[in-house]
Structure 1
């Protein structure tokens, strides 16, 4: 009976529709037809966080304009050729290639640029510090799939155990076959490009002490995505403290009970040279930092700063056309085929300006319809509750009558 009533009430509640609030901001800067970058400002981030599903770009006719998230490259990869100090080809036997690790860096792999071939070859890798005594690193490995589709060579990675030998020797078996044309041997170095973070203003810090722990509560006037928090600590001069970051979340503790609890999202170590905590893109209005003081005096936290990574979209606009970015919590993730194409993140694209965000008030007709829906929902909800109470009373009376008869 309880299950029947529960299903009935859930069905009634599901009939009450909840509508999201809608906001809009006009876009400017499309002085030509083409692709543009649109950096989402903090007022919009406060509404959507990192969830671009809640955003749309509309033209003045209300038609959707596809967009895709702009992924900036964390690091550019640059091929750095190595010095091949020995290259020897013994026909119908073996090809020997020796490269020099000039700075004796620690490596776990190399890249071979091999002219396109359908061959399949076995190779052995050895290491040496004097080019006389060689020691095994990797035996009976295979080079295959050596055909590039868009160029006349194929880059093939070879992996091996961590080492810092001054010389590495690759011995490719050619018994009964012709040798491969190894054009170059090198490594890909990461050229890190720095990410520009935006400062989040308006935050407030409350500091308390409890059970030898400093408890810092960071509060924001509106929810924001926080990627970094930096503490400005004036004393003591030397310290090394463990810190944890917590957020409050609603957690289901039993089948029908939900409680608000502190959930740990990261552990850190604070030192005078490291007072910045990298957070996993928290979308919060407040969070807590617990610092273990043990028997030492608490840290003197004078100030703090919050930063977030930019969220940028790429879209294709027509010259002179009017567009707006619209935010609505009821929107679902769009399925644009633009997302299937890889856009070059290193290309400089024109930047669109986002004007002031305003809330879109529903038109009179829409407001009347919404009011009617709310009234209908309330009638259905209260009607359902009354019917449920009547059913409970009916079954209870029937139960007691049956007990009296027995």
Structure 2
């Protein structure tokens, strides 16, 4: 009997769980929608980018994203990232010539024939604390100048190093690199001092040293055809506040995908630590440490060198709170913030030609979908099949939205399961008491034996 009761309890729980799991969402559960129209035909693969306006309205990191056809049937889909950067090829360049003079050194490098047009080089330099001017000529030393840049390293003082030289793409197979000191240092001058409010940086004269160049790496970037690869969102003016810890605090007012933050700062010289916290809904007590780094600007030879970006890890969608450590320095004059993230695209196989299809978000009680097509291919494979032109309209409120939709059936299932479990427990408890009393007596509930 006890075995039957135990089996009954497990069956009741399993049945309730199954009923709750197969409860498919309906269009009435979603707050927002965007209509999809275009060359939609049955069994055609369709592709369309997801705008930030739609992503920011997701309440659960896109687990509440659903697609419905014109008849309200749920349509399976996949979401893939477009490439953030164009295709980049890197290869070592062969150093075929070296010449040293009083003003600097000159390198001759050869580009491999298999490599496409080169638009940048990276120098491998083991030394620290230097600043050099690099001029790049095509074909020979008398050839046209195709690029000029500054390489530097101040890592003994701050985390600031650059050994990359960028220039317009060239098909030349021979490049001449002329590396010279950025400026002539007087013999009686030991240091250069840059002073700003609350900041003092001293660089030694060791930047005029000779450098050892181990390798020269060439880079070829090929732009890919297609739509936008990066989504951008601008915050201007920036809502800043100063707290008791002398921090500048910025609350980003909308949910955004993780990616990169770009700071537009008017302050000419600064070096500040930045921390970023994230939260799904922005409520007090829900903020978690998310990323940290530094932003800075230094005047080098009259041309400011800046590091004004901070990368955010992961691919989630959240609200962000930014804190900038000011110390005893005045707050930065921040003109704007730009947020960049990889473009997300949705791919789906149309089930019917009737339009419009409706892409919907904003339902807290909806679990993440589990579609079989999610297991098929990466973004390139899907893009090769998506040849139908479709467009997405503006994100609007869902006219069919019902705040109670989706909760009544779940509540009914949960109530049914609870009643079933309680009944099973009551019956089981009664049976257990009956067995317990029979062990202590024969035939009477009190356990007294009848007279012989």
TM-score w.r.t. length of structure 1: 0.50
Match runs of 1:2-401 below 5 Å: 21-22=29-30, 24-30=33-39, 34-48=44-58, 51=61, 53-61=63-71, 62=73, 64-72=75-83, 74-77=85-88, 101-102=109-110, 163-164=214-215, 189-191=220-222, 195-199=229-233, 205-211=239-245, 213-220=246-253, 222-235=254-267, 237-247=268-278, 260=285, 263-272=288-297, 273-280=306-313, 281=315, 283-285=317-319, 287-317=320-350, 320-322=353-355, 323-327=357-361, 329-336=366-373, 339-340=376-377, 342-343=380-381, 349=387, 350-355=389-394, 356-358=396-398, 360-361=400-401, 369=409, 372-373=412-413
Q: Distance between the aligned counterparts of 2:404 and 2:337, measured in 1?
A: 46
Quote the Cα distance in structure 1 between the aligned partners of 2:406 and 2:247.
52
C-alpha distance in structure 1 between counterparts of 2:345 and 2:334, whole Å: 33
- Kept in 1, the 8 Å contact 2:45–2:385? The answer is no
Q: Given that residues 81 and 342 in structure 2 are in contact (C-alpha distance below 8 angstroms), is that contact kept between their aligned partners in structure 1?
A: no
Secondary structure of the residue aligned to 1:240 is strand
| TM-superposed deviation, 1:202 | 9.2
Name the structure with the higher strand share.
1
1: CA distance between counterparts of 2:417 and 2:377? 41
C-alpha spacing 1:215/1:369, structure 2 compared with 1 (3 Å): same
Q: Deviations over 1:302-326 (max 9, x none)?
A: 5434444332112344784323324
Structure 1 residues 380 and 276 mapped into 2: Cα distance closer, same or farther (>3 Å)? farther
| SS in structure 1 at match of 2:230 | coil
Structure 2: 5+ residue stretches without partners: 1-12, 97-107, 112-119, 125-212, 298-305, 427-452
CA distance in 1, matches of 2:399, 2:392: 18
Taking a change above 3 Å as real, the CA distance of residues 200 and 311 of structure 1, as seen in their structure-2 partners, is farther
Give the 3 Å change call, closer, same or farther, for CA 374–292 of structure 1 in structure 2: same
* SS of the residue 1:197 aligns to: strand
On the 8 A contact 2:45/2:386 being kept in 1, the answer is: no
What CA deviation, in whole Å up to 9, does each residue of 1:262-288 have, x standing for no partner? 533222221232333222245223x33
Runs of 5+ consecutive residues of structure 1 not aligned to the other structure: 1-10, 86-99, 109-161, 166-185, 251-258, 388-406
Contact between 2:46 and 2:386, CA under 8 Å: does it hold in 1?
A: no
Offset, 1:298: 2.5
**Distance of 1:380 and 1:206 partners within structure 2:** 55
| TM-score normalised by the chain length of structure 2 | 0.46
> What secondary structure is seen at the aligned counterpart in 2 of 1:297?
coil
SS in 2 for 1:343: helix
Distance of 1:295 and 1:369 partners within structure 2: 59
Distance between the aligned counterparts of 1:74 and 1:279, measured in 2? 16
Question: What number of residue pairs does the alignment pair up?
Answer: 280
- In 2 relative to 1, CA 325–202 (structure 1 residues): closer, same or farther, beyond 3 Å? farther
CA contact (8 A) 1:241 1:270 kept: yes
* Distance in 1 of aligned mates of 2:341 and 2:401: 30
Q: Relative to 1, partners in 2 of residues 1:262 and 1:325: Cα closer, same or farther, differing over 3 Å?
A: closer
Structure 1's 365 and 241: CA in aligned 2 closer, same or farther, altered over 3 A?
closer
Secondary structure, counterpart of 2:54 in structure 1? helix
